[in-house]
Amino acid sequence: MSAPVPALSGARRRRLPTAAGPVDLWWHVSPGPAPVRGRALLQHAVGARRGRPAAEVAVLRDPLGRPVPAPDRFPPLCLSAAHSGPVTVAAVLAAPRPGTLLGIDVEHLAAPPSAQLLDLALTAAERAALAELPPALRLPRFLALWTAKEAVAKALGWPLLRALTDVELVLRPRPAVARLGRNRAPAGWQLLPLRLPGRPHTATLALYQPPATPPPPPRREHRPWTSPEASP
């Protein structure tokens, strides 16, 4: 028997336009010491999207650990959730085509990251670029990088990544994935920094759209070079 869906009040929603279509962004701030579980917020988000009570929505895990709605008659959805302290965030996207990926992350640090966390999250080039910034800008820049990398990892599924350093980012002129594993020209990714009203947290949404499959070229009849009719 599945666990009952807890009562959820105070959840807020905003619809974001993206290259992959509108994304429903949800967030909830827990008044108590325990945050709302990401699965509970996703159940409410999917229920609101499909006009069903949250108690009737089942959220499962795919083989890569990503949340997915239980199979039903509705069109497929991409889901992701994360939490940091009392804040829980969730994102829902109607998948426009197979292979679309969605990830979200939220973090908050009141003090600069430790050297161990820097080594865990950033590549050598990213650490060097961070060190060149004025001290006041280093923490927000680190959080932007960290949340974007975590969001990409959640979109892909953690088993496909060895470490956060497999993802290399640039933040100027806009956030973008510069390297993904051995791929030094990854295409199809969109990174969206998010603001949560009244919260100091940093959040990022990552989306991936596979390239549209071009239609097959029309068949044309070509005479082979060895055709007897082509001989002199």
* 186: CATH: 3.90.470.20
Angle (CA) 174 179 182, round 5° = 170
How far apart CA 181 and CA 110 sit, in angstroms, is: 31
Q: Provide the pLDDT confidence category of residue 33 given band limits of 50, 70 and 90.
A: confident
Looking at residue 35, its pLDDT comes to 80
Residues 62/158, Cβ–Cβ less than 8 Å? no
**Is pLDDT larger for residue 36 or for residue 227?**
36
Q: Into how many domains does the chain fold?
A: 1
Domain that holds residue 62: 12-213
Residues 6+ apart with CB under 8 A from 121: 113, 142, 145, 146, 149, 164, 165
DSSP for 189-214 reads: EEEEEE--TT---EEEEEEE-PPPPP
Q: Is the pLDDT of residue 221 over 60?
A: no
Q: What is the pLDDT of residue 225?
A: 33
Least Cα distance to 79 among 135, 132, 118, 40 occurs for 40
Question: What integer pLDDT is reported at residue 140 of this predicted model?
Answer: 97
Give Cα separations from 7 to 40, 41, 54, 181 (angstroms).
Answer: 9, 10, 9, 41
Examine residue 227 and state whether it is found in any structural domain, yes or no: no
Q: What is the pLDDT of residue 161?
A: 83
Mean pLDDT of 165-184: 94
Amino acid, single-letter form, for residue 142:
F
Beta strands in the chain (DSSP E): 12-16, 23-29, 59-61, 67-69, 77-84, 87-94, 101-107, 167-170, 176-180, 189-194, 202-208
Q: Single out the residue of 139, 136, 135 nearest to residue 118, CA to CA.
A: 139
27 in any annotated domain: yes
Beta-carbon count within 10 A of 141 CB: 15
Any idea what DSSP says for residue 230?
Answer: G
Band (pLDDT 50/70/90 cuts) for residue 219 is low
**Which residue is listed with tokens 């590549």?**
123
Does residue 177 contact residue 190 with C-beta atoms inside 8 Å?
no
Residue 114 belongs to a domain = yes
Q: Is residue 41 part of a domain?
A: yes
Domain-embedded: residue 95: yes
With respect to residue 39, please indicate whether it lies within any of the assigned structural domains. yes
User: Which DSSP category does 86 fall into?
Assistant: T
